[in-house]
Chains A and B, each alone.
Chain A
C-alpha cells in the first residue's frame, strides 16, 4: 500500500468505556489506527472485540473517552454535538447490520431522507440503480427481502457521495449468496466512487476483498495486514 496516500482517519490511544445495565464494559483500551483515502479496510474481530464501538466513534455516532481521533483535520473527540451532526451529514455514510430502514417510507423515500439534507447528492433513483434496485424503488421495507433491504441501506449511505462509507456487519443478517451480492455493491462503490470504506465483520473470509485487514481483540488492534491480492467478492466462499 502506498503510505503517502492522504490520511483520512487517524486514531491514537482511543479508549471507551460504557455501562451496559450494571456491567461496566471497557470496549476500547487504546486503539491506534490510520485509514487512507480510497482504501477498503476490513476490521475483523469477535463479538466484544470493540470493532462496532470503534466504527461508531469514527462515524461520529459516539464519543471516545480518551485518546485522539481525527477525520482529516477535524478533531472528533472534542467535537460537540452540532459539529458531529454536521460531520455525519456531509461526510459519512452508514450501513447497519439490521439495515435500520424507516419502515413507513419506500425504498426511494428512505434514500431521499438522506439526499434531501446532503450538499451534493446523487438522485435517489441513481443511488438505487447503483445497487441494482431500480425496479423496487416504490416498495416498502416490509416488501423487500433482507438482501434488498441491505442494498437500500447501502444506496442510502452512498447517495450523498460520502467521503467515507462505514459498514457494520453488512452481511451479518444475510445468507452467503445475498451477502456476496451486497459486498459486490460495496466494492463497486469503493472502486468507482473512490469512497474510503471500512467494513467490520467477524467473518474472516471477507478480509480477502480488502486492501488491508485490521484485527481487533479485547479492545485493541492486534494486527494490521496488507492484502496484496484483493479478491473479488464473487470469489469469496463461506
Chain B
C-alpha cells in the first residue's frame, strides 16, 4: 500500500471520533430519506399489487334494488370492462364472549366461488361451499380482534332476522384494506367487521331474490371514468341509485390515498430538511477537518506532491466517510422503514408488505452526501494548496485582533485574560463563529422539528375530545327517524342528556372543485358537539346557510356569502344552492354544518333525525347498551372514549413513531455537530492552550478558554435554533394538513425547552469528552511540534 494511503487510514483512525460524528450526520440524513421513501414505496407497491392481483373495481355504485337483468345493460356502457353485481347489507353481530355491540357489513359472493371483481385473498379456510346459506368468510382483522377461526360460530341480525353462521374462512379484500365503519375515521376491529356469504342466502334475508343493491365495475384501458359514472347513474337512477363513485371516493382507497399523500409529503419535506442540514454541516465539518491539516498539505507539497494528488488524498478521506455514513444510513433506514411499515400493516391490511430498496434513492442519497462533503473538502483543500508551501509551513502569522466593543465597555474591564481571549477569538473569527453557531442552531432546529408534534398532538386531541366531541355516546339510526325518538332515549337507564342530529350525505361543488362529505344538522347552540372558531370559542349555527370546516372552505375556494352547489345523495337527490354562512376550525375530519331544522327544510322533510348524542352515567352503561341493542332503529353505537383512545393509538403508532425516529436522528446530529466543533476548536488551539499552561495559567483557566467559547456559542445558538426549528415545524405542518386531521401549529414552551435541553446535553457530553484531552495537554510536545 502506498504510504499516502496508509496516512489516509491512520488519519481515519486518529480522527475516529470526528469521523464517526460526521458519518452520523450523513447517516441521519440518509436514513430519513430511505425511511420515508421506502415506507411510501412499500405501501404503494403493496397496494398496487393487491389491487392488480385481486381485481379491485374502478367504479362502485349502491342502489335500492335492481333486477339482475339490468347487468347486461350496464356491461354495454362504453368503457366498461366487467360488471359484478352483489348484495350489500348492514349487519349486527353477536360474538361469543364479547359484550358490546358489534356492527358490520355483509357482502354477497357468487355461489361457491370468487367474484369477478374485488376478489378475496383467503388467509385461512375456504369460501362458503356452494349452496350453503350458513357459512361466512370474515375479514382478517375482525377475526384477529376476536380470535375467531374457521369452524367458529357467530350470530348475525340481518334485516331484522337472526341468522346463525359458521365461519368457513378468513380473508382480506382490496375493498377493505382500510376497514372502517361508515362515518368512522379509524378502524375498530372489535366493533366493526366485514363478512361475505353466498348470494342466495343473503338475497333471501334481504328480500333481494334475483336482484342486487350494489354493483362493481371495472374500466377498459383508456375509458373515461366520469363518463362511465354518468352513464351508470343514469341507468341506476330508476332503481334508487345514490350515485356511483370512482376509487377516489371509495372509503378504503380514499384513506389509503390520504396516508400515501401524507407520506409523500413527508418523503419530500423531511429528507429535504434533514439532508439539507446534513449537507451544510458536512460541508463545514469536512472543511474544518482539512484546515487542521494545513501543515501536512504543505509538507506533501514541499516533497513535490501535485495539488491533484493532495486533493485526491483528501477526496478519498471524505469519500470513505461518506460511504460509511451512507451505508449506515441505508442500514438504519431500511430497518426502520420495515418497522414503520409493520406499524402501518396494522391499519392497512395487505396480503403482504412488499419491500424494495430502490437503487435510484440510494444513488440520490449518495450523490447529495458526497456532493456536500466533497464541496466542503474541495474548498478547504483549494485553500490549503493555494498557499506556497513555505508560507503554509510557517506557523500562521499572528492574526489581526482588535479590541472588541465589549472590551471597550465598562463591563470589559471586568473580563479576565482568558475571557478576553474568548471574546477576541469570536470577534476575530466572526464568520467561523457564526457557522459554528448556525450548525448547532440547525441541529437544535431538527430537535424541535422532531419533538413538536408530541405536544401538538396532545393539543389536537384535547381540542377534539374536550371541546368538540363532548358527548359520551354517539348513536346512528338506520333511517331518518322522527324527533320523538329523543323522548324514548331520555327514558333509558343512565341517560342524562340527549341531543338529536340529522346527517345527510352530499357532494359539495364550487366551480371546479367538489368534495363528498355529510352535512350535519344540529341545534343552533349544541351542547354535546362543539363548533369552534380559530380561537376555540364556540360558534353558533345561523338559522340559514352552511358552516364549513375552514380546511374544506379553502379547498373549495369559497368565502362566506358565496353560494355552494349541494348535491344531496339521499332521498330526493336534488341539487340545491346554499350560501356559506361561515367557517369553523376543527382539527379532525372535514364536515359541513347547518341548523337541524334548516337542513330538514332543505330535505323537504319534517323534523327528522339521523342519530343522537348522549351523555350517560357510566355505572348504567351495561344496562343502557342492552336496551339500545334491542332498538331496531339503532344502527350503530359509538363510544367517544374508545374513539379517543383509537385516535391516540393511531397517531402514536404512525406519526409519533416516525417523529420518534426523527428525534433520535436529530439528537445524534446535534451531538455530532457540537462534538466536532469542540474537537476542531481544540485542534486549532492546542498550541495556544499549551503555551498558556507554560506561562503559568491554571488548568481550569486554560480549560475555560475552550469551554467558555463553546458555552457561549451554544447559548447563542439555542434561540437561533428555536427560530430555525419553528420554521421547519411550520413547513412540515403546512405540508401535512389533510382531510383526516390537521395537527395544530402549536409549539409549547415544553418543546422549546426540550430543544434547548438537547443542545445543552450534547454540549456537556462534548465538553466531558474534550476534557480528557485537555487534561492530557502536553505542554512540551505541543510547543515543539509543528503539526
A residues within 8 Å of B by Cβ?
18-22, 53, 56, 59, 61-63, 81-82, 85-90, 92, 94, 96, 98-100, 102-105, 109-110, 112-114, 116-118, 142, 146, 156, 173
Contact = CB atoms under 8 A, between A and B. Distances in A.
Contacts of B295: 100
13 contacts: A19-B397, A61-B389, A85-B305, A88-B304, A92-B304, A96-B786, A99-B786, A103-B787, A105-B3, A105-B6, A105-B7, A109-B3, A156-B303
Nearest to A86: B304
A96 B390 CA distance: 11
Interface in B661-696: none
B296 interface: yes
B6 A56 contact: no
Nearest to A110: B3
Contact of A102 (B299, B307, B309, B397): B299
A226 B462 CA distance: 97
Nearest to B10: A104
Interface string B772-787: 0000000001001111
B303 A94 contact: yes
Interface residues of B, number: 34
Interface in B1-15: 2-4, 6-7, 10-11, 14
A89 B303 contact: yes
A199 to B, nearest CB: 17
A-B interface, 7 closest residue pairs, ranked by CB to CB distance from nearest? A89-B304, A104-B10, A61-B390, A56-B390, A112-B3, A113-B3, A62-B390
Contacts of B389: 61-62
A99 B296 CA distance: 12
A63 B398 CA distance: 22
Nearest to B15: A104
Contacts of B125: none
B306 A85 contact: yes
A104 B7 contact: yes
B399 interface: yes
Given A116-B4, A173-B784, A88 B303 contact: yes
Interface string B389-405: 11101000111100000
Contacts of B10: 104-105
B782 to A, nearest CB: 12
Nearest to A57: B390
B2 A116 contact: yes
A184 to B, nearest CB: 23
A233 to B, nearest CB: 23
A96 B393 contact: yes
A104 B2 CA distance: 14
Contacts of A156: 303
Given A21-B399, A88-B302, A61 B388 contact: yes
B191 interface: no
A62 B3 contact: no
A53 B394 CA distance: 11
Contacts of B302: 59, 61, 88, 94, 100
Interface of B: 2-4, 6-7, 10-11, 14, 295-296, 299-307, 309, 388-391, 393, 397-400, 781, 784-787
A113 B4 contact: yes
Contacts of B399: 21
B397 A117 contact: no
Contacts of A89: 303-305
Contact of B397 (A20, A87, A90): A20
B294 to A, nearest CB: 12
A96 B299 CA distance: 10
Given A20-B397, A114-B303, A173-B784, 13 more contacts: A19-B397, A53-B390, A56-B390, A61-B389, A61-B390, A82-B306, A85-B306, A87-B304, A92-B304, A103-B787, A113-B4, A113-B300, A117-B305
Contacts of B397: 19-21
A109 B304 contact: no
Contacts of A104: 7, 10-11, 14
A110 B7 CA distance: 9
Given A61-B389, A105-B10, A85 B3 contact: no
Contacts of B307: 81, 85
- Residue with the greatest number of chain A CB neighbours at <10 A, chosen from B3, B389, B781, B785: B3
B388 A62 contact: yes
A63 B390 CA distance: 10
A141 to B, nearest CB: 9
A96 B787 CA distance: 13
B303 A113 contact: yes
A82 B307 CA distance: 9
A21 B398 contact: yes
A109 B3 CA distance: 5
Contacts of A22: 400
Given A20-B397, A114-B303, A100 B7 contact: no
A47 to B, nearest CB: 13
A59 B299 CA distance: 13
B295 to A, nearest CB: 7
Contacts of B391: 18, 62
A92 B305 CA distance: 12
A98 B785 contact: yes
A59 B309 CA distance: 20
B786 A98 contact: yes
Nearest to A25: B397
A85 B787 CA distance: 22
Contacts of A87: 304
A20 B399 CA distance: 9
Contacts of A63: 388
Given A63-B388, A100-B295, A104-B14, A21 B305 contact: no
Contacts of A118: 304
Contacts of A113: 3-4, 7, 300, 303
A100 B786 contact: yes
A109 B11 CA distance: 14
B781 to A, nearest CB: 8
A105 B300 CA distance: 13
Given A21-B397, A96-B393, A117 B299 contact: no
- Residue with the greatest number of chain B CB neighbours at <10 A, chosen from A81, A87, A117, A173: A117
A235 B65 CA distance: 122
Contacts of A103: 785, 787
Contact of B400 (A21, A53, A98, A109): A21
